[in-house]
A and B are shown apart, each in its own frame.
Chain A
Amino acid sequence: MSDSAIKIGGARKSAFKDKVMTLLPEGGNLNACLTCGACASGCPATGLDGMDPRKFLRMAALGMDEEILNSNWVWLCSMCTRCVYVCPMQINIPQLVFNARATWKKEDKPKGIIGSCDMALRNDTCSAMGANEEDFQFVVEDVLEEYQEAQPEFAEMKADVNREGAYYFLNQNSREPVTEPDEMVPLWKIMSLAGADWTYGTKGWAAENYCMFAADDESWEKIVRTKVKAVEDLGCKVWLNTE
C-alpha cells in the first residue's frame, strides 16, 4: 500500500468543464465519470469525426479545452440525452455539448441554424421560415373555409385565431402553413371531434426554436418569452405543442 496519493503532473486545468459545472445542478455530475463507456456504446454519434461522448467528457476532464471547443462534434451530437439515461452516474454530457456550442463565435456556427434563429427573431410569430402574422392568419382562414365547404360534416369546424379565453393555445410547426397547409387539417378535425376548446395566436404560434440549437441563450430566451406572452395575453390555460 502506498502511503501517499499518486499525483499526476502536467495536467492542464479543465477551465471549461469547471465553468459548466457552476451552471448545472449537482455540477451535472461531470466529475463522477467511471469511464464505463455505457454512454458511447449506445450513442448514434459515436465515431463521427473520431469522437464519442465518453471521449468528449474525458478530454474535458483532462483540460483539453481547445480541442473540444473547436470540435465539430458539438454539432453532430443531437443532445438527445440517451447518454444521461444510461449513465450510472447521471452525467450531463449534453449540457457540456450545449455550453461548448455556446462558446463558438456566431459567424463560425452552422449557417443554417443561425439563419433559422435570426429569421425567428424577425417577427413576433417566432417562425424560423419567416411567416408573418398576416400570412399565417390568411392561410389558416383560407384552408379552413375550403375544408368547411368540401367536407360538410366539418362545416362547423373551428380554427380560431387570437380567440381570448380558449383553453388550449395550439402551436404549429412553420412547415405546414408555409409549404403544406393541407397537413394542418387532420389535427383540426381531431380537435373538433374531441370538442377541444382551442385557438391559434398570430403571435408566438411557431413551434420551433432554432436559437436554442444555436446555443444562443439571450435569443432563445427571447423566443420563449415571446411565446409565453402570447399564450398569457389570450388567457389560455394550456400551451399545446403539436406532433
Chain B
Amino acid sequence: MYAQWIREGKLTPSSDWNKERGVTFTVQDPCQLVRKSFGDPVAEDLRYVVKAVVGEENFIDMTPNRSNNFCCGGGGGYLQSGFQEQRRAYGQTKANQILATKADYCITPCHNCHAQVHDMAEVNDHAWDTVHLWTLLCLSLGILGPNEREYLGDDLKEVDVFHPESAM
C-alpha cells in the first residue's frame, strides 16, 4: 500500500536526511505478510519503500530473506505463551541474522515482530534499535513530531523534528 502511494506520487518521501548520516537499516520480512499471504512481490514492495525512506546505500538485507526468511519468534502466540527462555532461544536465530548485517536499525512492519525483535535487542546488548516502518516513513516525509519517536535511538531523536515546540 505504501509502495503504491509512493509510485502514484501521493507520498513523496526523501532519504536526504540520511545522506550524510549513513545510518544503516535492515528489514524483517513478516511471515504473515510475506510467506503466508502475498509472497515475494510484497517483499519487493517493502524494499522499495524502505530504500525510498532510508536511501538505497543504507539498506542491508538479511540472509535468508523474503519468503525464505526466518520467523522472529514472536508469532503464533509466543509472546504470551510464558515460554520466555525458549522464545529467546528461538529468536537468537533472527538476532544472529540481524547482527550479521551490522545494521543500526531493524525495521519491523508487524506488531508481533516489533515486540519480539525489540526484546531480542535487549538480550543482545542493545546492538540495534527496532522501529516501525510508519515512523521512518513520516521521518522521511518531514512530518514526524517529537512525541512520535519512542522507538528511534538517540541518534535520530533530534533529526528533522516536526513542530519541536510540541514536545511533551
Mark A residues whose CB is within 8 Å of B: 42, 44-45, 48-49, 72, 75-82, 85-86, 110-113, 115-116, 147, 150-151, 153-154, 173, 175, 180, 182-183, 185-187, 189-190, 193-195, 207-208, 210, 213-214, 240, 242-243
Contacts and interface: CB of A to CB of B under 8 A. Distances in A.
Contacts of B64: 42
A214 B77 contact: yes
Contacts, number: 137
Contact of B162 (A85, A151, A243): A151
Interface residues of B, number: 51
B77 A194 contact: no
B25 interface: no
Nearest to A212: B77
B35 A81 contact: yes
Interface in B67-96: 67-71, 73-78, 80-83, 86-87, 89-91, 93-94
A75 B150 contact: no
A115 B35 CA distance: 28
A207 B76 contact: no
A113 B80 contact: yes
A243 B136 CA distance: 13
Interface in B18-76: 31, 35-36, 64, 67-71, 73-76
Contacts of A48: 86, 89-90
For A86, A153, A193, which residue has the most chain B Cβ atoms within 10 angstroms?
A: A193
Contact of A190 (B115, B134, B163): B134
A45 B83 CA distance: 12
Contacts of B141: 189-190, 193
Contacts of B69: 82
B86 A153 contact: no
Contacts of B11: 190, 193-194
A202 B145 CA distance: 27
Contacts of A110: 77, 80-83
28 contacts: A42-B64, A44-B73, A44-B90, A76-B90, A78-B73, A78-B74, A82-B31, A82-B35, A82-B68, A82-B71, A85-B35, A110-B83, A111-B82, A112-B82, A116-B77, A151-B145, A185-B145, A185-B148, A186-B144, A187-B134, A189-B141, A190-B137, A190-B138, A193-B141, A213-B80, A240-B1, A243-B109, A243-B111
B143 interface: yes
A78 B90 CA distance: 9
